[in-house]
């Protein structure tokens, strides 16, 4: 990974073979980023995407082994029990021009990944929500 501190945050370039969520989470922890937003684009493979089934209170996951380009990754950065949590959704597609969307659980960069992190000015945390079963942003 390469990164550069810029006026309003950080620019990052993930390289081939790096896992997106783990790499971003490690960067957030190392740079002591208290929360914020992340945006990105690039190409990945071995992706696991999912959606939350509210009735069952669980994620349904789909795996994609092939190379896909992602034109839109958006997410938030927060903390759960003191550990960084990168919550990202992505739109990606491949040779068939079909688009796939979902919560990004994991993916490995296959060519390059370009990301922009906008840090918050204070700690952002998530707390368990009994109704949904999710760790939701606690903005009190």
Query: Quick check: pTM over 0.85?
Result: yes
pLDDT greater than 90 at residue 54: yes
| pLDDT tens figures, 112-137 | 999 999 999 999 999 999 999 999 99
Q: Which of the four pLDDT bands, split at 50, 70 and 90, describes residue 51?
A: very high
Domains of the chain: 2-138 (3.30.1330.80)
DSSP H helical ranges for the chain: 20-31
Q: What is the dihedral of CA 7, 11, 40, 103, to 10 degrees?
A: -90
What integer pLDDT is reported at residue 140 of this predicted model?
85
């Amino acid at each position: 990974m390469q990164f550069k501190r810029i006026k309003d945050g950080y620019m990052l370039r993930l390289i081939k073979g790096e896992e997106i969520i783990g790499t971003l989470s490690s960067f957030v922890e190392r740079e002591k980023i208290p929360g914020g937003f992340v945006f990105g684009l690039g190409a990945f493979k071995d992706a696991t995407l999912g959606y939350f089934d509210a009735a069952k209170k669980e994620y349904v996951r789909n795996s994609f082994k092939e190379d896909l380009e992602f034109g839109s990754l958006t997410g938030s950065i927060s903390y759960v029990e003191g550990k960084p949590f990168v919550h990202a959704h992505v739109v990606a597609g491949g040779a068939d021009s079909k688009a796939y969307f979902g919560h990004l659980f994991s993916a490995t960069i296959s060519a390059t990944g370009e990301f922009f992190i906008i840090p918050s000015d204070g700690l952002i945390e998530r707390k368990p929500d009994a109704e949904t079963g999710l760790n939701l942003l606690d903005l009190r």
